[in-house]
Amino acid sequence: MRLVLIGSAFAALLLTGVAQAAEPAAAIALPAAKVDGKVSVEKALKERRSLRRPSPAALSLAEIAQLAWSAQGVTDEKGHRTAPSAMATYPLELYVLAGSVAGLAPGLYRYRPEKHDLVLVAAGDKRAELVEKAIGQDWILKAPAVFVITGFAERMEAKIKERSSSFIWVEAGLAAQSFFLEATALGMGSTYVGGFKPDATRSVLGLAAGEEPLAVLPVGKK
């Protein structure tokens, strides 16, 4: 009996060790997203406008968390998300280029919906490099944070043969609209920036092979 217990404890230790090794060192837990608020969907729809003069005032980590959740957050125990996905294939990735965020060092982070956390991809403020090399719309530099939606058509291909390369764009639009409504409800604004050079964007963000940049969403307070 004792041997079995020691054996189980050893196995548990090993498992814990494996789980910790698989966890990226720089994962940042986010404040839980709020699932209720004071602004109705109708009011957010009425008030939403593209914002090209965002205040450079810093955002909080809770605001970043709420925005990330609005675009791709998990909303049930089956893993479904705030935005719909063709046959629940979830081909999108969501990044945030943090410039001025209280409690978050400037850097490029990837949002992990299942864990509701951020993983550091590259340290340092990448907003200027992205704007200079890939977009050229200087107003974006004022935004304290810039979200980027990318997609992998290949994640859909096992279930959806023909139109996966179009569907990732549809999904980016759906996620972006959720993001815009949340930003509006929080007293912020954003803009769907589609005018970027795909190759330069891939290079600045260090995207993987097969990962398509779909939308750039600068965000800040009004």
Q: Which residues bind ligand FMN (CB under 6 A)?
A: 49-50, 52, 137, 191-195
116 near 30, Cβ under 8 Å?
yes
Residue with tokens 């966890």: 23
Nearer to ligand FMN by C-beta: 124 or 195?
Answer: 195
Nearer to ligand FMN by C-beta: 66 or 190?
Answer: 190
Residue 118 CB, nearest approach to ligand FMN (Å): 25
Residue 122 CB, nearest approach to ligand FMN (Å): 24
Burial class (CB in 10 A: 0-12, 13-18, 19+), 2: exposed
Residue 137 CB, nearest approach to ligand FMN (Å): 6
Residue 156 CB, nearest approach to ligand FMN (Å): 20
Tell me how far apart the alpha carbons of residues 126 and 9 are, in angstroms, rounded to a whole number: 45
Residue 50 CB, nearest approach to ligand FMN (Å): 3
Cross-sheet strand order for the sheet of 145-152: 27-29, 117-123, 107-112, 92-98, 145-152, 211-221, 188-190
Residue 107 CB, nearest approach to ligand FMN (Å): 24
Tell me how far apart the alpha carbons of residues 138 and 154 are, in angstroms, rounded to a whole number: 33
